[in-house]
Chain A
Amino acid sequence: MQAAALLFLAQRASALVLAPLVLVHLGLAIYAIHGGLTAAEILGRTQGSAGWTLFYGLFVVAAAVHAPIGLRNVLREWLGLKGLGVNLVLVGFGAVLLLLGLRAVAAVTGI
């Protein structure tokens, strides 16, 4: 399997997932601020919600796949950094995004 093609597919597929999630997330943030929801009120809606767990869980996974691939392209093209070392650092970056993101999802949803 070609790594370049796989990374290309993974970045596009994750973008496809992220696009609607980001829009909903932004709309939600604006709604929450305009509506004057308190943190307690927000948590009251998210705690134990399977729907929000799925929504933000998917968001985090897609972002953890998408961002390191894009960053890899930036490092390659702008700074000329390439090779196994850079790839490993980026895998680590993706893992950090995934862990921090899932931890936040767990905290907000309580699941």
Chain B
Amino acid sequence: MPAGISPFSCANGGGRRYSGIMSNTSSTLDVRIWRGGEDGAFQPFSVPRQEHQTVLDVVTYVQRELDPTLAYRFACRVGMCGSCGMTVNGRPRWTCRTHVETATRGSDVLELAPLRSLPIIRDLVTDMTPFFEKWQTAQGRATGSKTRADDTQKIDPASPRRQAADAAIECINCGVCYAACDVVASDPDYLGPAALNRAWTLMNDDREADRAGVLEAATAGGGCHSCHSHGSCVEHCPVGLNPSAGIAGLKRLSLLAMVGGKI
């Protein structure tokens, strides 16, 4: 819950007052925020626009100035922690690094809802438990084989497998891809792009001691073969990862393993 950090530059929540607002938009935003649980509804708020205002700024303004009971989640405000994911005008986004201008696309309407496909706790806060449980089901955790007595394992940064791992490793666990995925929305068993992306990094990590186990977990029912390659995860990933490519890689590895009689 927000506390102690003000994204606004003065106590009344006004901050720098709207110099440099886009000329074709009004000085206030018509904000509609989801309130309550699964059976909740949108509540309208009027929020002053500011230059370079982020969606998280808007939510914080509402909570501090208009309705202190609004529940939402954030931590770092700089796109690292992955906790401020919400549905913004129908698209899952990280709100701390999404400018209002980008999300509204020239309009004055900002509709904020919790991330899709996750249980709503209240208002904009979802229960991320299924997301992280699936992460574990996909065996998205490193298994080591060395002790402190062993030398550090040498990894060539230029090797193709390390490059593949590096390309997928910067996931911030925000759940945006999970909410964007239509297969997740329709198949509760599907592990989702983030968990499978993590499995893919492990499959390419020379330090991973249980690659067979990871592949088996990522290939089982609800695993990589459930992906329809729609690419919504790629389209919406805020840090520009390509989980679809990783999932395709897992499919490839699983078919090779199956043909080789290893799974």
Give A residues with C-beta under 8 Å from B. Answer: 1-9, 73, 76-78, 80, 82
Chain A proximity of B219: nearest CB distance (Å): 5
Q: Is the CB of A76 within 8 A of B187?
A: yes
Report the interface size for chain B: residues with CB under 8 A from the other chain: 19
A80 partner residues in chain B, CB cutoff 8 A: 188
A66 to B81 alpha-carbon distance, docked (Å): 43
**Cβ–Cβ < 8 Å partners of A78 in chain B:** 186
The answer to whether A3 and B183 touch (CB under 8 A), given A8-B251, A9-B255, A9-B258, is: no
Flag if B219 contacts A1 (CB, 8 Å). Answer: no
On whether the beta carbons of B219 and A5 are closer than 8 Å, the reply is: yes
Q: Is the interface of B mostly helix, strand, loop or mixed?
A: helix
Q: Tell me, in angstroms, the Cα distance from A1 to B263 when the chains sit together.
A: 5
Complex Cα distance, B251 from A4, in Å, reads 10
Q: Which residues from chain A contact B263 at a C-beta distance below 8 Å?
A: 1-2, 5
Binds A, one of B14-22, B27-35, B135-143, B221-229: B221-229
Given known contacts A1-B263, A4-B223, A7-B225, A77 and B187 CB-to-CB distance under 8 angstroms: yes
The contact of A4 among B183, B188, B225, B257, by CB within 8 Å, is B225
Given contacts A4-B220, A5-B225, A76-B187, list 10 more A-B pairs with CB under 8 A: A1-B258, A2-B220, A4-B221, A4-B223, A5-B255, A5-B258, A77-B183, A77-B186, A78-B186, A80-B188
The 7 A-B residue pairs with the shortest CB-CB distance, nearest first, are A8-B225, A77-B186, A4-B225, A5-B254, A77-B187, A4-B221, A5-B258
Tell me if A2 and B187 are in contact (CB < 8 A): no
B206 within 8 A of A: no
Residues of B within 8 A of A73 (CB): 226
Q: Which residue of B lies closest to A79 (CB)?
A: B186
Chain B residue numbers with a CB within 8 Å of A6 are 258
Are A2 and B186 neighbours in the complex by a CB distance under 8 Å? no
The contact string, 1 if C-beta is below 8 Å from chain A, for chain B 229-263, is: 00000000000000000000001001101100001
Contacting residues, chain A, for B222 (C-beta < 8 A): 4
Q: Complex: how many Å from CA A40 to CA B66?
A: 81
Counting chain B CB atoms within 10 Å of each CB, the highest count among A8, A78, A82 belongs to: A8
Most buried by A among B219, B225, B226, B257: B225
CA–CA, A3 to B219, complex, Å? 9
Chain A nearest Cβ from B214, distance in angstroms: 13
Chain A residue numbers with a CB within 8 Å of B205 are: none
B258 and A4 within 8 A (CB):
no
Residues of B within 8 A of A76 (CB): 187
Question: Is the Cβ of A2 less than 8 Å from the Cβ of B183?
Answer: no
Given the complex of chains A and B, what is the CA–CA distance between A3 and B186 in angstroms? Answer: 20
